[in-house]
């Protein structure tokens, strides 16, 4: 199984990406507890120390190549996080926990979604993205965006919080959609 180095970083579309570390805990808590952007994600404690504990546990999963949590920077300022997980099968992954600071340009928002997928397909040799946890039915912007990046609705699941759409996306469908988005947004 291919793995990323612990000091992995990646630059594309004018965005710098690296793996999360404990120093990012306050920024992550700020994003995850922001009511405007955090209302469709699992509840997060406002305690930065608890986030640091979570990051320490995550780093063990990172070392095993099971999960990667990225932070994105524009002009050295963090603006988003996104994660690759459900990577036990060496051909598949899930991209999720995607949160972007409000007010960033569309190009940067889209980049923070495309980059983890590019890393999964190109650097980690994955062939299929699958979103088994799904996207809440009321999260219409993300559902629309998922379809725009090449994902397909595969089903639904219901839990206490409501109805969730599940998705999957073969590598080739992502690259078709990626090419269109790059052209539309002039991403280089």
Distance in angstroms (rounded) separating the CA atoms of residues 155 and 164 = 8
Distance in angstroms (rounded) separating the CA atoms of residues 13 and 115 = 9
pTM comes to 0.93
Six token digits for residue 183? 């052209």
pLDDT digit string, tens, across residues 64-119: 999 999 999 999 999 999 999 999 999 999 999 899 999 999 999 999 999 999 99
Instruction: Judge whether 149 and 174 are in contact, CB under 8 Å.
Output: yes
Buried b or exposed e, range 90-116, using 16+ CB within 10 angstroms: eebbbbbbbbbbeebeebbbbbbbbbb
The band of 43, judged by pLDDT with boundaries at 50, 70 and 90, is: confident
pLDDT digit string, tens, across residues 111-148: 999 999 999 999 999 999 998 788 889 989 889 999 99
């Amino acid at each position: 199984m291919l793995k990323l180095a612990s000091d992995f970083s990646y630059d594309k579309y004018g965005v710098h990406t690296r793996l999360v570390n404990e120093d990012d805990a306050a920024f992550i808590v700020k994003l995850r507890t922001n009511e405007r952007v955090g209302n469709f994600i699992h509840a997060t404690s406002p305690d930065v120390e608890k986030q640091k504990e979570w990051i320490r546990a995550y780093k063990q999963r990172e070392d095993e190549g099971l999960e990667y949590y990225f932070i994105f920077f524009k002009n050295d300022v963090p603006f988003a996080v996104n994660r690759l997980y459900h990577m036990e099968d060496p051909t598949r992954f899930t991209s999720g926990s995607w949160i972007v600071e409000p007010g960033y340009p569309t190009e940067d928002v889209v980049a923070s979604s495309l980059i983890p997928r590019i890393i999964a397909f190109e650097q980690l040799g994955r062939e299929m993205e699958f979103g088994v946890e799904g996207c809440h039915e009321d999260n219409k912007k993300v559902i629309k965006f998922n379809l725009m990046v090449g994902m397909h609705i595969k089903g639904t699941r219901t839990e206490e919080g409501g109805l969730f759409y599940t998705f999957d996306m073969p590598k080739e469908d992502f690259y078709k959609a990626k090419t269109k988005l790059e052209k539309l947004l002039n991403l280089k």
